[in-house]
Chains A and B, each alone.
Chain A
Amino acid sequence: MTTGGWTFMICSIGFVIGLIGFCFSRVLRPPASGDHLHAPERMDRGDD
């Protein structure tokens, strides 16, 4: 296995593990106030 092979393998697997780790850490994090956080573009009008 060449250095290039190791580099591509480690970077690819590292990227995917980093991505899935980030995603699940956010998904499994308990909501701070019992409700979802909202992004700045939130359109909630508070009418439901």
Chain B
Amino acid sequence: MPPKLTAAVAATLLATIPLYAQAPAGRPPRTADGKPNLNGIWQALNTANWDLQTHGPSGGPPALGAIGATPPGLGVVEGGEIPYLPQAAEKKKQNFASRWTVDPEIKCYLPGVPRATYMPFPFQILQGSDSIMIAYGYADAVRTINMGKPSDAPLDSWMGWSNGHWEGDTLVVDVTGLNDQTWFDRAGDFHSDALHVVERYKLLNKDLLDYEATIEDPMVFSKPWKINMPLYRHAEKNARLMEFKCAEFTEELLYGNLRKKASQ
């Protein structure tokens, strides 16, 4: 924020900030070097992993009954709609129709950014001196945010290449080098390898982070769009990430057809 903030500008700014973000909650904790202290185990409490946009409930694979159903939820997309280009909108529809077989999450593939953030798993932020590591509960996904001199993505990868910097008290992470293999959610929202994500993490109080991601991909979307959601700290005394190496649980699905037959 500019140093001389007029009341009018402040009011305008406030109007664009989500309501929960306006709650005064004391001065956020700081690290030894004076930065907001993001260390901790965090999790989104929403249904964005099922569908980024507002959605009602729907059934899943019949064998799973209520367990496989999609819980309803309010969307996290600013403005409500994802601005697909016409052809891409068609592809999204196809993805949606085949979501119970095609979603890369089924195969335990790395989730990409920003999906890793709002999957229904906790993640841990480890704020080092020259880099910030984020370890995700899902699939041992991990990324290291370079807080030094920004560097170019050496190649495309599932979790991308993250360069971070502080803008005041907001951690801004620029993510490039993302491949085109991940989806944003189980509803088939997708992107190309031209994806560029800018994340903003702002600590509102010690237990609440405001998370915003601007998504830009001229191959798929007509304009950049944003998602926004609160992230909550796991306040349990012994909160911890536990291993979820889900590749193991996909082996029958992926390789079961290659199993030796009992008769052989």
A binds B: no
- Contacts from A to B (Cβ < 8 Å): none
- Contacts from B to A (Cβ < 8 Å): none
